[in-house]
Amino acid sequence: MDPMIRWGIRLAQWYRHPPSRQRLIVMAVVIVACLAALAIERIFGWPSWLTTNGRLPHSPRIH
């Protein structure tokens, strides 16, 4: 199914049966937290302690 049709169906369902106020608040809090994390990362940069040094060793393959 085309993704745009899927989004259209989802929007139609939201229009007919809107989410509760509590669910809207939770979604807003999650979106604000993600945007805050993005803003902090853009302003201060990526911390060096979260960056790996080169390639990580691979786990042994089990055949």
Mean pLDDT, residues 37-54? 85
Is the pTM for the entire model greater than 0.75? no
Does 28 score more than 80 pLDDT? yes
DSSP characters for 6-51? HHHHHHHHHHHSPPPHHHHHHHHHHHHHHHHHHHHHHHH---GGGS
In a domain, 14, yes or no: yes
Does 48 score more than 70 pLDDT? yes
In a domain, 49, yes or no: no
In a domain, 61, yes or no: no
CA distance 57 to 61: 12
Instruction: Provide the domain count of the chain.
Output: 1
Does 56 score more than 70 pLDDT? no
Domain that holds residue 37: 3-43
